Chains A and B, each alone.
Chain A
Amino acid sequence: MNPVNYLYLAALLFTIGATGVLIRRNAIVVFMCIELMLNACNLALVAFSRMHGNLDGQIIAFFTMVVAAAEVVVGLAIIVSLFRSRHSASVDDASLMKL
């Protein structure tokens, strides 16, 4: 199967994730969309790895997973504490950091 199709799929997933980040208000959903973007990148990396016939892309994909796991831990903690203090998981409610 032509590996370019995987790239199209990766681009599609990334776009879906980016759109989700921009238009959804629920922090959990935004968070999931970010994960979707990361995994789209992983897919692209693995596809490139296959196309070029070396393992560099796959190794970077592993790194991405590790970083994503760490990010999930921190991000979920923030969302939980935000929910506790404001009783809402909407990202637009946490808009105090402005001039």
Chain B
Amino acid sequence: MENLIALLVAAPLLGAVVLLLGGRRLDGTGHLLGTVLAAASFVVGAVLFADMLGKGAEERTLTSTLYSWIPVEGFQADVAFRLDQLSMTFVLLITGVGTLIHLYSIGYMEHDERRRRFFGYLNLFLAAMLLLVLADNYLLLYVGWEGVGLASYLLIGFWQHKPSAATAAKKAFLVNRVGDVGLSIAIMLMFTTFGTFAFGPVLSSVDGASEGTLTAIGLMLLLAACGKSAQVPLQSWLGDAMEGPTPVSALIHAATMVTAGVYLIVRSGAIFNAAPDAQLAVVIVGAVTLLFGAIVGCAKDDIKKALAGSTMSQIGYMVLAAGLGPIGYAFAIMHLVTHGFFKAGLFLGAGSVMHGMNDEVDMRRYGGLRRYMPVTFVTFGLGYLAIIGFPGLSGFWSKDKIIEAAFAYDDGVRGWIFGGVALLGAGITAFYMTRVMIMTFFGEKRWQPDAEGNPPHPHESPKSMTIPMIVLAFGSVFAGGFFAVGDRFVNWLAPVTEFEHPHPVISVPAITTATVVVLLAGAAVAWAMYGRRPVPVEAPRGSLLTRAARRDLYQDDVNHVVLVRGGEHLTRSLVYVDHTLVDGVVNGTAAGFGGLSGRLRRLQNGYARSYAVSMFGGAAILVAATLLMRAV
């Protein structure tokens, strides 16, 4: 069984290599090959999963060392895999949702002449993400981490003929690099502290390190997670990443990439457990991001950007839960999985809508689509009910648990603050998702002809696109309940992530009631604002907050002022210092020696007699010095 683990990564990697090197000969079949290999990886994952279920909870961890990557005395880096319950969960999510997205892309990218290359990149993305979650040491994880960054760059900028897509890809890559620096520093700190970076030895010898060191490692890991998971302050790339084809957005937001940060934090749980300050930082980042994303999502008229805001917000929930420690890890991963289902479904649904509407993304130009796209409407609707946490659907089970855990944080003021934030976030989520739903599928038709003057003819998408949406809708409806009943999911993960029952500051039924009330209120407000009144085709000016949220709460302006302007000022002052101080010292030294040598030069006048004088003078000084020394 251990040997199969490498196959999980190898299958999509093979697909990427064949498709990217194969050339135009594979144009006709490449997409099928890519999909089959992704599915093969899923099948291998399922086989391993079945095998794992057959074993006792403590014997489920499989490890496999492929070869020694850097065999140096005192620096042992192996290409080694670890498949435990945590990575198994990710493997099934990545390959399962990934395969569905491959399937969907066959239809979605049908008219794109570079479809083969697109599937090559998708396979590369899967391979990198699988390597990330299967690695048994942080160095190999870093390889997968960078691979994910590369694949996301290639896919976001897939339509590189559009300058906006090329810029968005560059932005995503650069912002991610900031996080990558954090991860590399964390790995270096681990190596200097523990002498290794394999998961087992590092996480079991945490007690031997000082809390300061662990806090530093934790904060660096958090920085890394912020980059990949689009958390404040490294969130700015996520909205622009919508420039990529819609399946890419689904893949980035549901199965790969943004989940990597949550995985990293949960995997390094032992470090965070021993560093409460770092945990607090994680919780704060999660709480801020969940409100940030939710507020941004409320104001966007671009359906994909609204969904992007929602992803940021939902990942914020997961990060918040991951920062809560053993009471939250399992719920973070549970929400991650249910979110994988409904967010992939929502993005694929959005792609399906765009497919039928001449690639229009402005929701103000949709309206009344439920009659024209029944399958999309139903699947999107179920995803919508799941994400707002409608009782009984997936999102309800996982999000409600996170809110409970947040209320249990630290048994006091902190519990109230972060629980309140999580609750508020649930209300805002209901508001903006209801808004998306109403503007897209209900109300008047506000369709506009596209740039070439063709009026849209909305139609249901082909089977290859609807089937994945239906499958994901099933997951959105039932996964949460299946996981939550009898604490199945928690018991499954407990051997890896530890688990403690949260004890919220107020009773659990009260929290659940409050959550439902808040979400109904959010949905009702959205209905009052967008359902009862006609939606204007041109966006109204809006309040100050709306305008701020439309501009992503000025994230780019902040980055511009702080980083770009700051950087310019820094370089300018450095140039000034270079010109005056450094050049001054260098030039001054040179001029000093030049002047001195100009004077010394006069001694070399060519007259033998003057040389004789200096010789006599020197001899006289020597004699005088000798006599003086003897006298002393």
Contacts and interface: CB of A to CB of B under 8 A. Distances in A.
A91 B605 CA distance: 13
B609 to A, nearest CB: 6
Interface residues of B, number: 10
A92 B609 contact: yes
Interface in A7-24: 18, 21-23
A10 to B, nearest CB: 15
A22 B607 contact: no
B606 A91 contact: no
B605 A21 contact: no
A22 B611 CA distance: 9
Contacts, number: 30
Given A92-B607, A95-B606, A95-B607, A22 B616 contact: yes
A94 interface: yes
B616 A18 contact: yes
A1 interface: no
B419 to A, nearest CB: 86
A97 interface: yes
Contacts of B605: 95, 98
Contacts of B608: 30, 91-92, 94-95
A98 B609 contact: no
A82 B510 CA distance: 118
B613 interface: yes
Nearest to A34: B612
A90 to B, nearest CB: 10
B604 interface: yes
B609 A22 contact: yes
A49 to B, nearest CB: 21
Contact of B606 (A22, A23, A98): A98
Main secondary structure of the interface of A (DSSP, over half): loop
Nearest to B619: A18
A16 B144 CA distance: 91
Given A22-B612, A22-B613, A99 B607 contact: no
Contacts of A73: none
A23 B610 CA distance: 10
A97 B606 CA distance: 5
Nearest to A91: B608
A91 B609 contact: yes
A74 interface: no
A22 B616 CA distance: 9
Nearest to A97: B606
Contacts of A94: 606, 608
B55 interface: no
B601 A99 contact: yes
A55 to B, nearest CB: 25
A98 B613 CA distance: 16
A28 to B, nearest CB: 14
Given A21-B609, A22-B609, A92-B609, A98 B604 contact: yes
B613 A96 contact: no
Interface of B: 601, 604-609, 612-613, 616
Interface of A: 18, 21-23, 25, 30, 91-92, 94-99
Given A22-B616, A91-B609, 9 more contacts: A18-B616, A21-B609, A22-B609, A22-B613, A95-B606, A95-B608, A96-B606, A98-B605, A99-B604
15 contacts: A21-B609, A22-B612, A22-B613, A23-B609, A91-B609, A92-B607, A92-B608, A92-B609, A94-B606, A94-B608, A95-B605, A95-B608, A98-B606, A99-B601, A99-B604
